[in-house]
Chains A and B, each alone.
Chain A
Amino acid sequence: DGGITQSPKYLFRKEGQNVTLSCEQNLNHDAMYWYRQDPGQGLRLIYYSQIVNDFQKGDIAEGYSVSREKKESFPLTVTSAQKNPTAFYLCASSRKGSSTDTQYFGPGTRLTVL
């Protein structure tokens, strides 16, 4: 089945730790995205990538980093510089990077800071 997988489902981070969230897609989509969702809030864009080896900051990139070495993979690192990382993290992909393309979401990773 084609789709987007994210791992882990739940992640706990101690203060000062960097953690990496995995996102893999087998839809042959060019574009991939990372969003953050806080309770009662809409989705906010962290980073996006329209092509391998290229990515751009979204609205709330501070304290996060990404890489896009393969078309299928777009991992997100939450660094210790991110002061309030507890949130639901969603990875999405679309066929191209146009805003008219439908974005499909993975199941999400729920990150909690201890």
Chain B
Amino acid sequence: QKEVEQNSGPLSVPEGAIASLNCTYSDRGSQSFFWYRQYSGKSPELIMSIYSNGDKEDGRFTAQLNKASQYVSLLIRDSQPSDSATYLCAVGGSNYKLTFGKGTLLTVNP
């Protein structure tokens, strides 16, 4: 059973701080990694995708991938109250499927 694990949270950070969200996965054959943001009652929207080891930056967001440790993270710099949401980690394996974690609830306090 391929698994994707995330801390459920809630993770609470003050406005302007760095929020760090973590995800581990069990399938060593995984090739693609996605972070989605989901506001309460809404559908997931893609924040970032990453496929190679290392860091990938997009604005205030940085995704970090370490395939040897089977670990992917998302850093949000200068966190804003509008970043308050559930963040879903999704991992693509050797087939068609994405496996989703249960998500981490982030709260950014003004």
Contact = CB atoms under 8 A, between A and B. Distances in A.
Q: Do these two chains interact?
A: yes
Given A100-B31, A100-B51, A43 B94 contact: no
B21 interface: no
Interface of B: 4, 8, 31-32, 34, 36, 42-46, 49, 51, 88, 90, 92-103
Given A40-B8, A102-B34, A90 B43 contact: yes
The contact size tier of chain A is 20 to 34
A26 B90 CA distance: 24
16 contacts: A42-B4, A42-B88, A42-B99, A42-B100, A42-B101, A43-B44, A45-B97, A90-B43, A98-B92, A100-B31, A100-B32, A100-B92, A103-B34, A103-B90, A104-B46, A106-B43
A10 to B, nearest CB: 11
Contact of A42 (B34, B92, B94, B102): B102
B43 A107 contact: yes
A50 B95 CA distance: 12
User: Interface residues of A: mostly helix, strand, loop or mixed?
Assistant: loop
Nearest to B3: A42
Contact of A99 (B42, B98, B101): B98
Given A42-B103, A99-B94, A99-B95, 17 more contacts: A40-B8, A42-B100, A42-B101, A43-B100, A48-B96, A50-B96, A90-B44, A98-B96, A99-B97, A99-B98, A102-B34, A102-B46, A102-B49, A103-B98, A105-B36, A105-B44, A107-B42
A108 interface: yes
A107 to B, nearest CB: 5
A40 B101 CA distance: 10
Nearest to B34: A102
B92 A99 contact: yes
A22 B90 CA distance: 24
